[in-house]
Amino acid sequence: MRLFPLVLFCTFLYFITGFTSCNFDAEKTPESIVVWDSLEVTASAYNSLSWQTTGGNPHIAAWGDTLKPGLKAIAVSRDLIERGLDYNTPVKIEGFDGVFLVKDKMHYRWKNKIDIYMDEDVQKARQFGRKKLMIYFVSDTISGKK
């Protein structure tokens, strides 16, 4: 009967201070529905090394984020930004576990392309090479009402 003291305490707070967050019958907030869109892109890999990046600190991405080992980040071509793959958009990549975030953008010359961040492991990036694959990105979030 561990719940009884909590209920008693919340009831006491409710009557003394008008505190209502202990109301166990309160209507739940509606859940959001995430809409994923899919797209076939050309994917390659990049590292945070000065000879692979544009000037300055190679660990600083285009929107100012610091790239650190283990970060699941991608860079996107500018045309993909216009299609909804903007800063911090969650992205699932075919053949990879987890969700990546858009943290960097590429030069204007690239089209329909992503670069997957692979720390400073140049061998791993070269081994990945360049390939066409599917990505899935959050294109909208809809508030579900009950």
CATH architecture of 32-141: Beta Barrel (2.40)
Stated pTM of the model: 0.71
pLDDT of amino acid 1: 46
* DSSP conformation letters of 41-79: EEEEEE-S-GGGSSSS-TTB-TTSPBP-TT--EEEE-HH
What's the burial of 66, exposed, middle or buried (CB within 10 Å: 0-12/13-18/19+)? exposed
Domain definitions of the chain by residue range: 1-28, 32-141
End-to-end CA distance of the chain: 33
pLDDT of amino acid 19: 45
Q: What is the pLDDT along the chain (146 residues), one digit of tens a residue?
A: 454 555 445 555 455 544 445 555 555 656 788 889 999 999 999 988 766 666 666 777 878 788 888 999 999 999 999 999 999 999 999 999 999 999 999 899 999 999 999 988 899 999 999 999 999 999 877 765 54
